[in-house]
Amino acid sequence: MDSLTPASAADLPPLGELVADEPFWSYPTGGVARAGVAHLRVWLTAGPEPGHLAVVTETGPAAGVTESAGLIWAELARRYGPRFVLLEHFPAPELGEGMETLDLVRVGADGSPHWSRVWPTPEVNPRHAGLEHWMAAYGHQIVNMPASEFDWRQDEDDQINGSG
């Protein structure tokens, strides 16, 4: 999923209160295992229409969350209702190549999942600034990085203008 189309910041609601934090959440799989384990966090959304934003973080060596995204989405939609946004989070691997990513998961009418990249996105992409702004405001709650890592351009501007 390295070449995903970036999501739009308009798809990402402002976060409110954290209402669930389950480090060993058991999620449904369609395979032989029948269940996988991931870290689930759910926030109330603070937008004009109340809802929930859930982040499922892959915690195992296999990419089981990706293969089960449609089942995970259905399970969480039953639990949290129709105003629900799902993000799939992959931490950077401890060994080997790869990077930390955050993807928006949508499910089509046929039940198949579709992903859009939230972070990181290329600077040349027209949606980059909006996504970086959302990550600067909320990303530090989702990924293991300080908020200052997401608004680097503001820091550079402050240093250039002598205000930082």
Q: pLDDT tens, 60-96?
A: 765 588 889 999 999 999 999 988 999 999 888 776 6
The DSSP bridge partners found for residue 77 are none
Place of tokens 């992959």: 90
Q: What's the pTM value of the predicted model, to 2 decimals?
A: 0.84
Other Cβ atoms less than 10 A from the Cβ of 82: the count is 6
Pair type for strands 113-119 and 101-107: antiparallel
Q: Could you tell me whether strands 101-107 and 35-45 are parallel, antiparallel, or unpaired per DSSP bridges? A: unpaired
Total count of residues recorded for the chain: 164
pLDDT digits (tens, 9 = 90+) for 135-160: 999 998 988 766 666 654 444 444 33
